Amino acid sequence: MSRSNPTKDRISSLPDPIICHILSFLPTKNSAATSILSKRWKPIWLSVSTLDFDDETFPNYDSFRLFVLTVFLTRDISLPLHSFHLKCTKASYLHSEDINRFVQAATKRIIENLNLRMVSFRLELPRSIFSCQTLVVLHLYGISLNDVSRVVVDFPCLKILDLSGVIFKHAEYLPKLLSGCPILEAKVMVHKSFTYAPCINTSQPSDFFHFEQKCVRIHCDSQSAIHLANHQVYHERTKHIDIRLHFVRDMIESKEIVVEKVASEENPADVFTKSLPRSRFKHCLDLIKFVEE
């Protein structure tokens, strides 16, 4: 009986550019792990054009910080960086100085796509990012723009701008930011965080902007299974409250969402607000799981 041939390593036989492209879909921590496969693999991950860091995959901040710094110090600074994704969601140790240092290192490498996701709005961007000549895509979340009045904004190549996670200290900062983006193609997502309505004076059409407001997301397999009680406090004085939520009103009228009313005799709050006959009193106690001794 002949011995079966060992499985051939087809991936290692691929050209370096193809391997780099494959590794670009992995978090940087995982692509760096391929360096232990062989001597050939060791330098390949350092040529990947995408860097993706997530602090949740590290046991502590020191190891995360050391890894990011090591990657930047080891990479050839002349290599272009297509995408830089940085996610820091552990609020207990968010160091703004380090985050800004990482961002500055990325913007010095002909970066095209910058994606920053922070845990809170304590981080202020370094001023150098506002004059990054090569940026095409910019996504920001958990960022605070407190002072851009004296910053020169120059994004000549920026086409996609997502500000849905940005808080502006003053509304006039937004039009100034947009004035430095002459070729925007995608809609601008803006977090509705102004203390007053922003006045935007720009050449872009009005439907180019989308102001995002926070809402409650309901995850349900079937819309017909959604029921809204039109009063949250069980009391007859609230039974006439109407639904004024414009984004569900049409679904209520079309019976896709059922709005239930609670009859007066089913209001357990009456136990605390009314003088009731004994039979009604016992009925309300049963509704709120009280046992009369």
Query: Mean pLDDT over residues 131-150, rounded?
Result: 84
Residue 251: how many other CB atoms lie within 10 Å: 15
The rounded percent of the chain whose pLDDT value lies above 70 is 60
- Tell me the pLDDT of the chain averaged across its residues: 73
* Separation CA 113–CA 242 (nearest Å): 46
pLDDT at 116 over 50: yes
Model's pTM, two decimal places? 0.63
The rounded percent of the chain whose pLDDT value lies above 90 is 18
Query: Mean pLDDT over residues 5-16, rounded?
Result: 74
What is the SS3 assignment for the chain?
Answer: CCCCCCCCCCCCCCCHHHHHHHHCCCCHHHHHHHHHCCCCCCCHHHHCCEEEEEHHHCCCHHHHHHHHHHHHHHCCCCCCCCEEEEEECCHHHCCHHHHHHHHHHHHCCCCCEEEEEECCCCECCCHHHHHCCCCCEEEEEEEEECCCCCCCCCCCCCCEEEEEEEEECCCCHHHHHHHCCCCCCCCEEEECCCCCCCCCCCCCCHHHEEEECCCCCCCCCCHHHCEEECCCCCCHHHCCCCCCCHHHHHHHHCCCCEEECCCHHHCCCHHHHCCCCHHHHHHHHHHCCCCCC
pLDDT at 118 over 70: yes
User: Where is mean pLDDT largest: 51-55, 180-184, 221-225, 242-246?
Assistant: 51-55
Q: Quick one: pLDDT at residue 259?
A: 54
Nearest-10 crossing angle of helices 61-74, 96-107: 20
Please report which confidence band the pLDDT of residue 284 belongs to, taking 50, 70 and 90 as the band edges: low
Q: Quick one: pLDDT at residue 25?
A: 92
* Separation CA 161–CA 189 (nearest Å): 7
Please report which confidence band the pLDDT of residue 3 belongs to, taking 50, 70 and 90 as the band edges: low
Question: Could you tell me which of 229, 238, 230, 235 has the C-alpha nearest to residue 265?
Answer: 235
Q: Quick one: pLDDT at residue 230?
A: 44
pLDDT tens-digit map of 160-171: 988 877 877 777
User: Looking up tokens 């904004």, which residue turns up?
Assistant: 153
Please report which confidence band the pLDDT of residue 248 belongs to, taking 50, 70 and 90 as the band edges: low
Q: Quick one: pLDDT at residue 255?
A: 62
Out of 83-92, 122-131, 136-145, 221-230, least confident range: 221-230
